[in-house]
Amino acid sequence: LFTFGLLSDIQHAPVPDGHSYSGKPRYYRHALEATRGASVTMDRVGCDFAVNLGDVIDGKVDAEERRTGGVVTAASVLADVLAAMGGFGRGRWYHTYGNHELYTTLTRPHMQAAMGIPFVEEGGGERVGYYSFVPFAGFRFVVVDTYDEAVIGRAEGSEKKEKAVEYLKANNPNYAKGQINAPEGLTGLSRRFVAFNGGVGPVQLAWLRSELSAAVASGERVILLSHQPFHPDSCDPMTLPFNYEAVLDVLRSFEGTVVATFSGHTHNSGYAHDRGIHHVVVAAGLESPPPVETFAVVRAYEDRLEWEGFGDEWPEKTMRFPKRKGAGECTEEGGDTKRKRRKTTKQV
């Protein structure tokens, strides 16, 4: 029916290679070349559109902007990445954003202008990046903004920032000590209460439910896109949104309609199958050494999605759709993959 490309966590910065806090190598400059190569391949294999799952530039750009006195800026580095994405010319890119864009001087209005994210203006002038699109009859893609309620990227006095602070103060004693990204002393799912995560607000949750209801009325399958993953079995729990359960509850109430979610943030591939929904985490382009280019191409059929991974991704995977609600009991058919999910590591 149609084909689309997926790319996540590019995190390009014009700085020397480095490491994550856990010691994993990061290839900041190669990430740009890998994006260019991935885009050309997506074009060559016939993708109809492509999706960026967020974190196109790295937070290190902020220090580089200060060091160079504004010669290098977050806006200029973003422009370089978008230019590299120009290798895909058959269709358009759809974008989400992540925590790393918010570590820089990029603003939501700038991301809207440069990336085409149609931010919704809620009360108090708060902009939230959720939207949907229908690239092919019978399929609706829904983009969820997991930095709706967040400490980063929200102004002092913002109700959305205050809500995020409430989450952190109530669940992470390190926050009061100024260690806003420290999970020390936290266990299991509680490790998600760190400041590089965010939450989905009530207005957006209501919108999500209305989008899924509209999809049911139109007989559409739904694929969800976001920077952060929503299923704890698909990722390190430290990369989940604060209120991931609220989103899962909405998705689970539309069995047979929601068929897949695609996200990034964790940096390693991840997968879980729950109530007919395939939850897939896409590996980071940032952490593949030259000349490796990590991304995926997904082909949609009437009854399934066929995954083709490149670089450090799963090479092949089949994700079958459940029966539509009303056409019989929702089946728990899962996916077939050629390689098991690698152990996930946190994104910081």
Q: What is the pLDDT confidence band of residue 325, given thresholds at 50, 70 and 90?
A: low
The per-residue pLDDT for range 246-300, each reduced to its tens digit, is 999 999 999 999 999 999 999 999 999 999 999 999 999 999 999 999 999 999 9
Let me know if 215 is exposed, middle or buried by CB neighbors in 10 A (0-12, 13-18, 19+). Answer: buried
Residue-level pLDDT at 23 = 83
Residue-level pLDDT at 241 = 97
- For residue 10, pLDDT over 80 is answered with yes
CB-based contact 229:235 (threshold 8 Å): yes
Residue-level pLDDT at 155 = 92
Q: What pTM was estimated for this model as a whole?
A: 0.91
Candidates 255, 253, 226; CA nearest to 241 is 226
Residue-level pLDDT at 202 = 96
- For residue 327, pLDDT over 50 is answered with no
Task: Tell me whether the omega of the peptide bond preceding residue 183 falls within 30 degrees of 0, making it cis.
Answer: no
The per-residue pLDDT for range 110-169, each reduced to its tens digit, is 999 999 999 999 988 899 999 999 999 999 999 999 999 999 999 999 999 999 999 999
Task: Tell me whether the omega of the peptide bond preceding residue 291 falls within 30 degrees of 0, making it cis.
Answer: yes
Residue-level pLDDT at 316 = 84
Residue-level pLDDT at 21 = 81
Q: Can you tell me the distance from the alpha carbon of 13 to that of 305, in angstroms, rounded to the nearest whole number?
A: 33
Phi-psi region of 116 (alpha: psi -120 to 50; beta: other; left: phi over 0): left
What average pLDDT does this structure show over 7-23? 92
Q: Can you tell me the distance from the alpha carbon of 347 to that of 287, in angstroms, rounded to the nearest whole number?
A: 11
- For residue 344, pLDDT over 70 is answered with no
Amino acid of residue 9: D
Residue-level pLDDT at 334 = 53
The per-residue pLDDT for range 195-252, each reduced to its tens digit, is 999 999 999 999 999 999 999 999 999 999 999 999 999 999 999 999 999 999 999 9
Q: What is the pLDDT confidence band of residue 338, given thresholds at 50, 70 and 90?
A: very low
